[in-house]
Structure 1
Amino acid sequence: MIHSSALPSRFVGRAEELAAVAGSLSEQRLVTLTGVGGVGKSRLASEAVERLGHRGGRAVVRVDLWPVQNDKLLVPAVAHALGFANHSATDTLEAFTRWLHDQDVLLVLDSCEHVRLGCRTLVARLLAAAPGPTVPTTSREPLGLPGEQVIEVAPLPAPTDGAELLRARAALLGTPLVSPEDVRTAVRLSRRLEGIPLAIELAAGQLADRTVEQVDRHLRSRLELAADHGNGPARHRALRTTIGWSHELCEPAERLLWARLSVFRGDVAADTVQQVCAGGPLGAEALAAALAGLERKSVLSRRRTPSRPDRRNAARTPTGCSAPPT
């Protein structure tokens, strides 16, 4: 049985993009969302299919491919995510395709770029042999299959959308931005961060300890310094600078845990974090405090899984690196 997934928090903005993606998925069986890292491809795809699935009574399954190391592991990973196990002598892809043949499911393949060839093979076979599934994908580049509709995801189209995202995340931290001056600063900060949702989320993580004016002022100084030194392509500078600044603002124990978490790809269970990342300065209490600090700063997120309600999973760091570039 295939079950629908659930989204963790309120979605902000992108009404036109949502309508475009949902409309495309109503007409096409393969839709790929492309765009730079941190621009919001995954969340846009997830939100669109959740709304589409809810209206049509269709199952929604999102498979995060980031942890999949190579093309050979792709099909077993996707099959496992849908609850399929091959107990026959038949090739797994063939058996999986037969099993999925009539299932009316929106199958989101998220982060395909590093296993692009495997995704091409899997999706081509599914679309040819199984009329039930519709496959939205996210990737830095299209899969390049016939009939694929490609939608390029741009940064948030208006500074007010970025400001609303910042305000929504600030409210979750218990530091609402309500004054007219705070709202104006949030708009200015969103513009400074080029409307990149990941950069805005990381900036929002600093609002637990700083005012929005302080966050804006510090980022302005860092961006000006990065521009003077020509650090990285201009279109990536806001995100790189925000990640670097977020790393510097972490406590030493948080930076150490961030570095140790970088060995993981994708979600990781909380008990695994304790087994792998504990040691030295990170005793049990220090590790718990560092996890809470990184979560508060939006460096990672934690969620409960339906299959293990007593455990919490710590998601991978957004950067996937131990010492982010400044």
Structure 2
Amino acid sequence: MDALAAALRSARLVTVTGTGGVGKSRLAARLVADQESAHGWVELAPVRDAQFVEYAVAEALGLTDHTTRSPREALLERPAGLPPLLVLDGFEHLAGATAELVAELLRRLPGLRVLAVGRRPLGLAGERLFPLAPLGPDEAVELFTRRAHEQGVTVADGPEVRELCRRLDGIPLALELAAGRLRALSPAQLLERLGDRFRLLTGGGRDALPRHQALRTAIGWSHELCTPAERLLWARLSVFAGTFDLEAVEYVCSGDGLAAADVLDVLSELLAQSVIAREDGPAGPRYRMLDTVGAYGALWLEAAGDTARLRRRHRDWYLGLAAWCELEWFSPRQREVAARVAVELPNLRTALEFCLTEPAQAHLGQCLAGSLWFCWVGCGRLAEGRRWLERSVALESGYERSRLKALWVLGYVAVLQG
């Protein structure tokens, strides 16, 4: 960590690179936690569209705008509102748009430093690369035994444990997934079961999966050791973007082999096995699935032919959430509504995109974009709202009421922008 801190002192752009699961985000989080200066942390993994990179940055920095300016212009015109360090985590699927934005920010804002975290460089002049290697043998064993202890299992440092850590190439995520199985299997049994289970899946989509053999092995083998209910929930959770709460999971993922009453128990098992992570916030616990783990679940969901149905359930939940928030906006719960919408934006965007790319659902996209008027108008997201609204009203839905509401909100947004 000292070496990374030194790199940031000597370069304005440092990119931590390494394979998925090697601990890049964790290292960056530890670094900024030890920094005395302010920083902005931007989660780019949930962002699916390159045009929303600048929106995600502005959102993470708490910048709102009620003019026709783009988020990029707002960032550049308000340097006093920016922290001295900007962390961009999980940018690799949006590398081009991220590099373009970073280049302009660094050129126009001389006091800014950027720490990028991803599997590849941004490719910009002056970029200092900080490749993160997997753990060494002793470090890997220490992490594995510590995670085992957290599971209530005592594991001694011995030949089988060292061979297991070696076979998993010292990748922290792979080691944690393996340690999550020690309540049921011994290290010797885990060694016997090692194998690349990704071969069970055929067809496309492999570009979304981690390229490192040991990590692919650990994820596939962890999936194989799940119960049928755990595998089912793992696959269904892949439709979420960013974080999600228990209520959403119970609605979206239950049914057809998984009772709503069982969702909490199955979710808790996936948490214990490090398949998902828990984040505690003011509104209660939320859960997150790493993109490498989620990509595997998405493949299984597609193989089961269930992706479209789950995406419709996801859409329906967030349509309902938007409707509830709209009703509660003018109430004593307005602050709660604003906070809820902010944390749910990745999922709301995913639902909007799904609606607006399926002609038969155009009216639902218009309904959702219109219901979120308070988000666009009251929470300083006029430019983003205008994008969604213009896309929605351009579609012929056959439902005049939903289209008229979207048109009305679009007009209101345009008036406010001036």
Q: TM-score range by the shorter chain?
A: 0.7 to 0.9
Q: Distance in 2 between matches of 1:29 and 1:290?
A: 44
Counterpart for residue 165 of structure 2: 190
| Secondary structure, counterpart of 2:241 in structure 1 | coil
Structure 1 stretches of 4+ moved >4 Å: none
The answer on 1:242 being equivalent to 2:218 is: yes
Q: Distance in 2 between matches of 1:187 and 1:50?
A: 32
1:77-96 equivalences under 5 Å are 77-96=56-75
Q: CA deviation at 1:223?
A: 6.4
Q: 1:180 to 1:260 in 2, by over 3 A?
A: closer
The answer on 1:216 being equivalent to 2:191 is: yes
The answer on 1:21 being equivalent to 2:9 is: no
Identity of aligned residues (%): 43
Counterpart for residue 385 of structure 2: none
The answer on 1:138 being equivalent to 2:145 is: no
Counterpart for residue 35 of structure 1: 18
Q: CA deviation at 1:137?
A: 0.5
Query: 1:177-218 deviations in whole A, cap 9, x for unaligned?
Result: 2x454xx43322211111111111110110122223332343
Give the superposed CA RMSD: 2.5
Indicate which of 98, 115, 118 corresponds to 2:77. Answer: 98
Contact 2:18 2:119 in 1 (8 A): yes
Q: Distance in 2 between matches of 1:114 and 1:92?
A: 20
Q: Distance in 2 between matches of 1:100 and 1:190?
A: 46
Query: 1:238-269 deviations in whole A, cap 9, x for unaligned?
Result: 22221111111111111000110111233223
Q: Distance in 1 between matches of 2:280 and 2:289?
A: 15
Q: Distance in 1 between matches of 2:299 and 2:30?
A: 29
Q: Distance in 2 between matches of 1:132 and 1:102?
A: 12
Contact 2:39 2:83 in 1 (8 A): no
Contact 1:102 1:132 in 2 (8 A): no
Indicate which of 232, 256, 260 corresponds to 2:232. Answer: 256
Letter paired with 1:174 = G
1:52-201 equivalences under 5 Å are 53=35, 57-101=36-80, 103-156=82-135, 158-177=136-155, 179-181=156-158, 184-201=159-176
Length-normalised TM-score, structure 2: 0.64
Letter paired with 2:174 = A
Contact 2:17 2:118 in 1 (8 A): yes
Query: 1:249-304 deviations in whole A, cap 9, x for unaligned?
Result: 11111100011011123322332222211223322221111101111111111121
Counterpart for residue 33 of structure 2: 50
Contact 2:14 2:129 in 1 (8 A): yes
Counterpart for residue 3 of structure 1: none
Q: 1:165 to 1:100 in 2, by over 3 A?
A: farther
Q: 1:216 to 1:33 in 2, by over 3 A?
A: same
Letter paired with 1:165 = L
Q: Distance in 2 between matches of 1:153 and 1:271?
A: 37
Q: CA deviation at 1:153?
A: 1.6
Indicate which of 286, 293, 296 corresponds to 1:319. Answer: 293
Contact 2:38 2:83 in 1 (8 A): yes
Q: Report the count of equivalent residues.
A: 289
| Secondary structure, counterpart of 2:115 in structure 1 | strand
Counterpart for residue 10 of structure 1: none
Decide which structure has the larger Cα Rg and report it. 2
Q: CA deviation at 1:236?
A: 2.7
Q: Distance in 2 between matches of 1:258 and 1:223?
A: 18
| Secondary structure, counterpart of 1:164 in structure 2 | helix
Q: Distance in 1 between matches of 2:223 and 2:248?
A: 23
Q: CA deviation at 1:22?
A: 1.0
Query: 1:123-177 deviations in whole A, cap 9, x for unaligned?
Result: 1122122234321001222111121111222211x11111111122112212232
| Secondary structure, counterpart of 1:208 in structure 2 | coil
Counterpart for residue 11 of structure 1: none
Counterpart for residue 391 of structure 2: none
Gaps of 5+ in 2: 200-205, 301-418
Q: Distance in 2 between matches of 1:323 and 1:59?
A: 36
Contact 2:53 2:98 in 1 (8 A): yes
Greater helix percent: which structure?
2
Q: 1:172 to 1:99 in 2, by over 3 A?
A: farther
Q: CA deviation at 1:324?
A: 6.7
Q: Distance in 1 between matches of 2:76 and 2:149?
A: 44
The answer on 1:273 being equivalent to 2:249 is: yes
Q: Distance in 2 between matches of 1:88 and 1:137?
A: 29
| Secondary structure, counterpart of 1:319 in structure 2 | helix
Which stretch of structure 1 is more off in the superposition, 88-97 or 135-144? Answer: 88-97
Q: CA deviation at 1:100?
A: 3.6
Letter paired with 1:209 = A
| Secondary structure, counterpart of 2:126 in structure 1 | coil
Letter paired with 2:131 = E
Contact 1:22 1:49 in 2 (8 A): no
